[in-house]
Amino acid sequence: MKRLGTIVLMIATLALGDAAMAAPALPGGPLPGDSVYQLDIPLTNQDARASKLAELRGSPVLIAMFYTSCKYVCPLIVDSMRSVDKALAPDERARLRVVLVSFDPEHDTPQALKAVAEERHLDLPRWSLDRTDAESVRKLAAVLGVQYRAIEKGDFNHSTVISLLDKDGRIVAHSSRTGEVDADLLAATRRELTTR
Amino acid sequence: MIRAMVAALCLAALALPAGAADYVAIPGGSFASVLPPDGKAALAVVAPFHLRMLPVTNAEFLQFVRANPQWDRGRIASLFADSQYLAQWGGPSNLGAAGRDQPVTRVSWFAAEAFCESEHARLPAWYEFEYAAAADESHADARADAAWRERILDWYARPSTTALPDVGSSPKNFYGAHDVHGLIWEWVGDYASLMISGDNRNQGDPDLLKFCGAGALSTQDRENYAILMRIALLSSLKAADTTANLGFRCARNATGDGT
């Protein structure tokens, strides 16, 4: 009897396993093959809330990579993203998500992320600062086309790439401009916010 | 009793995951890389690690895609590989005319990473690869040997239209690894970061950063064309790219798992 129970359990597990393998019925249909959300990476935000990258699906997203102890370029990346955000009409702005993911999982704890969010007066939770694991950092950098290299004392050299994702996670525009409004990026963001 | 033990051992061997591939231990050390960490003359430091003895073969990669069909060429997301991914195979899960023991090529960085994760490993870092590639059959660092350099360069002169030899066809190097030179190009985990300068603190201009990277190549070792060509090739790639002569092998930390 016990054995029968075990077998039933095994069959149930197998059936569940099959269900998990099948393409999940996502809102908005199957994920496009070129969607950044094909990356199944975990995120933890400034409030220590865990999520998956693909949970951003549904609204346009401005996304970039940074690290909290960065003194030079990273504040400018935040400035650039904010300048696009600010140039939008309030109803447009409400539908945009802005996400910054850290290169530096070793040092960028939720507390460190929170400190930056507060210092920069970021509009949480529409904006979020996230950390992920080291392997996922490499994968995300690869899909976003961000080059980076750890140098001594916890610093990184990195290229600046702000990417605009459509609501399904496809990269529709990117910008390497820092510290000023990138008119092309702003126009593309408006376009994504008006296509439903 | 003995028979039962043998049977148990055989079962244990069968139960081993793809991680049963041979790895060779490479003691750590510091060495003069063609990409000095500070962009000038500092030595690169490599911690002890294990490197796959052989590049990954078609047969091994086939086993991986059969177990993980999201990585077969019919199903892979276009984010992770270009249209030529595994195009030399007969189909998504059969090799066709591709040799079982030939190195697998036309694999993207993402696919190579995923394979290595499946054998509890990772792609080697550039410094690890360069360190292992400095060895000839009998010396850990043969880079000053002009005759050896010539021998490697001969490989680049061979036309790439001929079929790739099987892995392990060339003699093993000082560490016991085969085919580090002379067979294929190989992915490294940090391929995208090679040309980023190590000492450029003036990060004000991101475009400048991209171009400054070229200054990171050391001129101390410019005779080492074979290594410079690898850097040139890897730096030109995107993570979803595949080429007919680009394969990979995996590495692990000497202690603990690969990550």
Higher pLDDT: A88 or A28? It is A88
B215 φ, ψ to 5°?
-75, -10
Is residue B31 situated within a structural domain? yes
* pLDDT single digits (tens) A151-193: 767 777 788 899 999 999 999 999 988 767 889 999 999 999 9
Structure confidence by residue, pLDDT tens digits, A32-62: 999 999 998 999 999 999 999 999 999 999 9
List the single residue in B with minimal CA-CA distance to A135: B259
CB contact under 8 A, B79 and A142: no
Give the dihedral of Cα atoms B187, B192, B194, B200; nearest 10 deg: -170
Chain A residue closest in CA terms to B235: A147
Query: CA quadruple B74, B77, B83, B87: dihedral positive or negative?
Result: negative
CA distance B124 to chain A (A): 13
Contact (Cβ atoms closer than 8 angstroms) between residue A39 and residue A140? yes
Q: What DSSP state is assigned to residue A51?
A: E
Which among B240, B233, B243, B8 has a CA at the least distance from the CA of B126?
B233
Residue A62, CB-side half-sphere exposure with 13 Å CA sphere: 30
The set of residues, in sequence order, having a beta carbon less than 8 Å from that of A20 and lying 6+ positions away, is none
Q: Is A144 helix (H, G, I), strand (E, B) or coil?
A: helix
Q: Is B124 a domain residue?
A: yes
Mutate to test the interface with A, among B193, B201, B241 (most CBs of A within 10 A): B193
Please enumerate in sequence order all residues whose Cβ is within 8 A of that of B224, keeping only pairs 6 or more positions apart, or say none.
B34, B143, B149
DSSP states of B178-246: --SSSS-EE--TTGGGTTS-SS---TT-HHHHHHHGGGGS-STTTT-HHHHHHHHHHHT--TT---TTE
CA distance A63 to A53: 11
Residue B143 lies in a domain: yes
Percent of chain B with pLDDT over 70: 79
**Nearest C-alpha in B relative to A76:** B204
State the Cα–Cα distance between residues A161 and A138, nearest whole angstrom.
14
Global confidence as pTM: 0.83
Q: What is the pLDDT of residue B42?
A: 86
For B222-248, what is each residue's pLDDT tens digit? Answer: 567 788 888 888 988 999 999 999 999
Report all structural domains of chain A as residue ranges with CATH numbers, in order of start.
31-194 (3.40.30.10)
Give Cβ neighbours of residue B222 (< 8 Å, ≥ 6 apart): B34, B228
B259 found inside a domain: no
Q: Give domain status of residue B258, yes or no.
A: no
Tell whether omega for the bond before B17 is within 30 degrees of 0, i.e. cis.
no
Across the interface, of A34, A159, A178, the residue whose CB is closest to B78 is A34
Residues from chain A contacting residue B193 (CB–CB below 8 Å): 147-149
Interface test mutation site (partner B, options A35, A66, A137, A149, max chain B beta carbons within 10 A): A149
Q: Closest Cα to residue B81, out of B104, B56, B106?
A: B106
The closest CB to that of A149, out of B110, B198, B238, belongs to: B198
Q: Please name the residue that has the structure tokens 């085969």.
A: B178
Residue B38 placed within a domain = yes
Domain that holds residue B223: 2-253
A83-131 pLDDT tens trace: 999 999 999 999 999 999 998 999 999 999 999 999 999 999 999 999 9
Q: Which residue of A has its CA nearest to B82?
A: A34
- pLDDT per residue, tens digit, chain B (259 aa), is 444 444 444 444 444 444 478 999 999 999 999 888 877 788 999 999 999 999 999 999 999 999 999 999 999 999 999 999 999 999 999 999 999 999 999 999 999 999 999 999 999 999 999 999 999 999 999 998 989 888 888 877 777 667 899 999 989 999 999 999 989 999 999 998 886 654 444 433 444 434 333 344 554 555 677 888 888 889 889 999 999 999 999 999 997 544 4
Chain-chain contact of B198 with A143 (C-beta, under 8 angstroms): no
Residue B56, φ and ψ in degrees, nearest 5: -70, 135
Length of chain B: 259
For residue range A119-136, list pLDDT tens digits in order. 999 999 999 999 999 999
Q: Chain B residues with CB inside 8 Å of A157's CB? A: 196-198, 200, 203, 209
CATH code for the domain in which residue B221 is found: 3.90.1580.10
Q: How many domains does chain B have?
A: 1
